[in-house]
Structure 1
Amino acid sequence: MQALIIIGHGSHLNAESSAPVYAHAAAIRASGAFDEVRECFWKEEPSMREVFDLVEADEVYVVPLFISEGYFTEEVIPRELGLDGPAPSTTRKLGRTIHYTPPVGTHPGMPAMILRRAEETAGLTDEQARRAGLIIIGHGTERNSNSSEVIYRVSREADAAGVFGHVRTGFLDQAPEVGEVLDEMEERTVVLVPFFVAEGWHTQETIPDDLGINRPAVSPMTEKDGRTIFYAAPVGTFPEIAQIVLQRAREAGARVPAGLVVGEAARV
């Protein structure tokens, strides 16, 4: 038997924080790729410390639904699960073999997925996208450089693809701030994509309010200062993320048919 465990941060204050974890777990569960699929969290129940009690399989694949490698993926998760080290790693304990993978946000398929969703959010043709700009928004932190490096890497690769006129990176808690990046963009049509796991206070209120654009509940489009600004859903809510979780597990050795696709993930 083989089991999949998807780990999310969770929140005691916002129920939407865990929604993507449950949605992607449900999609993978329905595919029948694993005998068991479980969810666990740092800030919600079921907790990481109890998740192995919920699993019967002796071969377990642990995939963190996080954006970057950093404090949580390299320290908190290995500590809470009693793993031998950060990803990629294999731990043998209590008669089980536990494979721990890198987070979904560092997967090489991320730039193509973001570009595709950005075009779809704005309803742009390929030609229109080449005349538009794209800003990938990260949370950022001065405490861990790895937190921002994945955002920069994905932005560089997305820019090199040539789908949009320019692709830039903006942050909430470090320079360059997203508002400054938006002001510097030359394009009159700009798409904003939050590189966040879930909808929450930042994506629903902080970002739109700071930028003076519509909140998601109102409209994904804002006409402002002669510009059209489109605001996409957070990356972690995209249905294709379930396929990336599946690919992470396969990379670690999970017996998953190569041609298996999950939900809308056929294009990943």
Structure 2
Amino acid sequence: MKALVIVGHGSHLNGDSSLPVYEHARRIREEFPEEYDEVVECFWKEEPSMRHVLNTIESEEVYVVPAFISEGYFTQQVIPRELGLDGEVTHRGGKTIRYAGPLGTFDLMADVILERTADLMRDKSPEPGETELVLLGHGTDMNKNSSGVIYLNAERIRERGGYDEIGVGFLDQEPEIKGVVEASDAANLIVLPVFIADGWHTRETIPEDLGLTGEVTRLPGDAGETEKTVFYGAPVGTHPSMAGLIAARARALAPEGSGSSGDSGNSQEREPFASGVS
């Protein structure tokens, strides 16, 4: 038997934080019923807890995929510690547990970003002139990997073409998103949060900082005329195609000759994590 475990952060304050994990798990059950006997959700800050999830699984072959964008403290330390993992492959209690990297480092993340962007711009009427796609990450000065994944996906999209410019901005590090938007010379800016879930930042702080009034905001210039139009999208992590990305991320873990098939994509090389098992 084979199980897929999707690990989310969760939140005691934001009930919507866990919704994407449950929704993606549901889609995987419906769209890939032949791949997994069990598809299980667990969280760091909510029940069901990741600490006990492996005890609830009957399958001997377990694939763990963290529903996180970037490599960092949670994917390298918290999740391995709570699940009791030794590395990318752990053998314990008659189970073989294979641990994936975060979703943002996977090649297919660029496809999800572009699909979310296409959905946002469908039936929209951009102003004449250049269009810039800006990927918005949370960022932190405490972990370089947090921002690295945003630059990685910006470069992947840049190589594909389709936009005049590809920009990057952050909430908690330079370049800050407000400065990126203000400095852009493009007539149209598509600002896309590369976040897993909708929440306080995506609904409140980001729109407030950027002066946004909805999906489409026409920002005035010094003379009162429209300077640029900002198209603001929903978080990438809530897009339905994330379910396929999670399934592909797990599929890429399968050992050769195991019978798994499909486009697994190529993940960015991961840094070793500290299991911190105690």
The runs of at least 4 aligned residues of structure 1 exceeding 6 Å deviation read: 127-130
Alignment of 1:178-197 (within 5 A): 178-197=177-196
User: Does the residue aligned with 2:75 lie in a helix, a strand or coil?
Assistant: helix
User: Does the residue aligned with 1:44 lie in a helix, a strand or coil?
Assistant: coil
8 A contact 1:130–1:162 mirrored in 2 = no
Structure-2 change in CA distance of 1:141 and 1:118 (3 Å): same
CA distance in 2, matches of 1:208, 1:255: 46
Partner residue, 2:251: 250
Partner residue, 2:71: 69
CA distance in 2, matches of 1:176, 1:160: 22
Partner residue, 1:265: none
Structure-2 change in CA distance of 1:29 and 1:116 (3 Å): closer
Larger Rg: 2
8 A contact 1:64–1:103 mirrored in 2 = yes
CA distance in 1, matches of 2:127, 2:112: 18
CA distance in 2, matches of 1:95, 1:145: 37
List gaps (5 residues or longer) in structure 1: 261-268
How big is the alpha-carbon RMSD for the aligned residues of Structure 1 and Structure 2? Answer: 2.0
User: Does the residue aligned with 1:98 lie in a helix, a strand or coil?
Assistant: strand
CA distance in 2, matches of 1:258, 1:119: 24
Partner residue, 1:266: none
Partner residue, 1:30: 30
8 A contact 2:129–2:188 mirrored in 1 = no
User: Does the residue aligned with 1:21 lie in a helix, a strand or coil?
Assistant: helix
Task: Name the one with the larger helix percent.
Answer: 1
The letter of the residue matching 2:201 is H
Q: How far apart are residue 28 of structure 1 and its match? A: 0.6
Partner residue, 1:263: none
Q: How far apart are residue 259 of structure 1 and its match? A: 7.8
The letter of the residue matching 1:119 is A
The letter of the residue matching 1:52 is L
User: Does the residue aligned with 1:23 lie in a helix, a strand or coil?
Assistant: helix
CA distance in 2, matches of 1:112, 1:7: 22
Aligned positions, number: 252
Q: Percent identity?
A: 48
8 A contact 1:64–1:101 mirrored in 2 = yes
Q: How far apart are residue 78 of structure 1 and its match? A: 0.4
Is 1:59 the counterpart of 2:61 in the alignment?
yes
User: Does the residue aligned with 2:250 lie in a helix, a strand or coil?
Assistant: helix
CA distance in 1, matches of 2:68, 2:113: 16
User: Does the residue aligned with 1:169 lie in a helix, a strand or coil?
Assistant: strand
List gaps (5 residues or longer) in structure 2: 221-225, 265-278
Higher RCO (C-alpha 8 Å, min separation 6):
2
The letter of the residue matching 2:45 is K
Structure-2 change in CA distance of 1:186 and 1:259 (3 Å): closer
Structure-2 change in CA distance of 1:112 and 1:129 (3 Å): farther
Partner residue, 1:237: 238
8 A contact 1:119–1:129 mirrored in 2 = no
Q: How far apart are residue 65 of structure 1 and its match? A: 0.4
The letter of the residue matching 1:14 is N
8 A contact 1:129–1:163 mirrored in 2 = no
CA distance in 2, matches of 1:19, 1:11: 11
Structure-2 change in CA distance of 1:178 and 1:46 (3 Å): same
